[in-house]
Structure 1
């Protein structure tokens, strides 16, 4: 495909500024910016004091009264449960480990997972039966947790939401989702695959990927990219104004790149999730922004985003408080594929760049393209008719992948289930 200019690599800035250049926009930085870094530091200090058995945890009246997630997602209760109980709870191969993680995050409730564990013993894909699991789920009054709820995938059919979600699990596993995911190198590419499945929008798919990324079978870098959920978008609006909408991912990367200047200016020691961290990752900042917006509702009640109140008051859980990390995080930095752009091709006075692969699509004719030798932040959206000959195989591979998933969806919706290691009843 012909391109007028090569993708530009973003430059890091060394000092805080009154304006930010993000996505071609010059945005005024709101005075609440400093509150973001204060909230990050104080919320993580609460976590550290709580682990150490120190009291009081904080003198901040808002943080004392209301419930906030941890600065780092890995320390939140459900994520700790996945790390401490779900991942080690059975065979360690990629299929069975992925099945347990997907099963838990689909319903996102510790009590539901434990109920299934008590009834069925070890929860295994090899013995998974949709009807049996459904019968056990309907016997429980409450099935679902509150955070990161995956909308029911209506395209798969089924009697109610629980059956639809069980069918989604079946689809993910029989389509070879874990092994296909293993072939990818970047979170952005992993998201492009995951959102092809019904019910998994960008944010919920991203949360599932972060859970899977804690096991030993995946090692996506969390430094380079993150999907902004609705709460994180609200947090960004507080800092940059409404013009930030549509360029939230770029804004998250801007905060990640500029964090050192703010920590230095405010004389705050940057909170770290583990000793080898060089700062907050894109994933960390996205997670923090949602809770920052919630904090601002109490701190600055005269300013609003979508919501005006903090609803949930803090109440300690009966679960033991832990702060464990995946062992691989403490051994080395998360993997990051290092690439170098190849020389551009000059044909008849026109510069050409070669397509590496399709990352994701919007509809049938618009594609997010990875250029050979370039990084994920240099992907561009292109119309199919504008892609040159080098994209031919990439487009064929992408359409084949999409069609295979669509065929499996139609089969399950009709009550005909793709084969698995053991026979599963259809409902």
Structure 2
């Protein structure tokens, strides 16, 4: 039986409401200053993702610039390569650097050794990997013959994914969970990354699965769930996320919160998973005595100089106001 920790769980619902209100205020006012968008000092001071994963800056760049910009130039194999290569580093500036040096990235011009040399030069000046995900570079398969972590990831991408057999399996996968299973069998790709990459590939037109059909809880989401629930009994963390989705309207009414969704699209399991992770961070300040794992929030909010002109996967059929 699920036992909710009421005093913590209500902040999960609150976070979703207030963070979404900030999104709409910023989108409507084109205002960068968080303090003018919310009276919540925690949300003003610290960095939090959007309620909807697709609205975050890196996801928006992926959708607009990597997937849908000149998409007719790319065959499905190109699309898979572009999405996974971008997401391995998960940094906009790394992708821009590579395309400036290589031109439009396609399978035909994917030279892992040359790209590795380019990144070897790049890493002398600045990071090439995002700090958002923990990217391991240690595995017995790649214990010799490689110096840099990016070399190993590029070789893994080229040999373990971008071969005809795996590409065909990806394109012919019948569910989000099957796509996840294909990816998790690759070196370096654990459960969390396999799920994230499956969602990213699902933004394209070559794959189309319901985001509510499968979820995998990451470490941050697990911490958030442990704070919001006293006991989850026999249920998995993924079950808790699905339970949250199924009972969202009940809990909003119970705690007195409202929510303006994304142009008619309700948050899906990936979004609710992310919100548990963000609630864990929020509660580190709001309820500091409720300790599960990390004790402080590391990243402060920093305003960006450029606005996001939002684009969502056309297959979602969202009508922007």
Residue 81 of structure 1, CA deviation: 0.7
Tell whether 2:46 aligns with 1:66.
yes
Aligned positions of 1:269-284 closer than 5 A: 269-275=258-264, 277=265, 279-284=266-271
Gaps of 5+ in 1: 1-20, 333-427
Residue 226 of structure 2 corresponds to: 237
* Root-mean-square deviation over aligned CA pairs: 2.0
Kindly tell me the number of residue pairs found equivalent between the two proteins. 306
The higher-RCO structure (CA 8 Å, 6+ apart) is: 2
Cα deviation digits, residues 291-326 of structure 1 (max 9, x gap): 011001111112111011112110012343233211
8 Å contact from structure 2 (residues 3, 231) kept in 1? no
Residue 287 of structure 1, CA deviation: 1.0
Residue 244 of structure 1, CA deviation: 6.0
Residue 153 of structure 1, CA deviation: 5.8
8 Å contact from structure 1 (residues 51, 323) kept in 2? no
8 Å contact from structure 1 (residues 62, 298) kept in 2? yes
More helix by share: 2
Of residues 191, 203, 208 in structure 1, which corresponds to 2:192? 203
Of residues 95, 117, 120 in structure 2, which corresponds to 1:138? 120
CA distance change for structure 1 residues 294 and 245 in 2, over 3 Å: closer, same or farther?
Answer: farther
Residue 122 of structure 1 corresponds to: 104
Of residues 165, 170, 180 in structure 1, which corresponds to 2:169? 180
Residue 14 of structure 2 corresponds to: 38
Rg (Cα) greater in structure: 1
- TM-score between the two structures when normalised by the length of structure 1: 0.68
Of residues 143, 148, 151 in structure 1, which corresponds to 2:133? 148
**Structure 1 moving runs of 4+ over 4 Å:** 242-246
Where 2:212 maps in the other structure, the secondary structure is coil
Gaps of 5+ in 2: none
8 Å contact from structure 1 (residues 107, 149) kept in 2? no
- TM-score between the two structures when normalised by the length of structure 2: 0.89
8 Å contact from structure 1 (residues 153, 168) kept in 2? no
Report the Cα distance in structure 1 between the residues aligned to 2:118 and 2:306, rounded to whole angstroms: 24
Residue 88 of structure 1, CA deviation: 3.0
Aligned positions of 1:363-402 closer than 5 A: none
Residue 50 of structure 1 corresponds to: 26
Residue 241 of structure 2 corresponds to: 252
Residue 151 of structure 1, CA deviation: 1.9
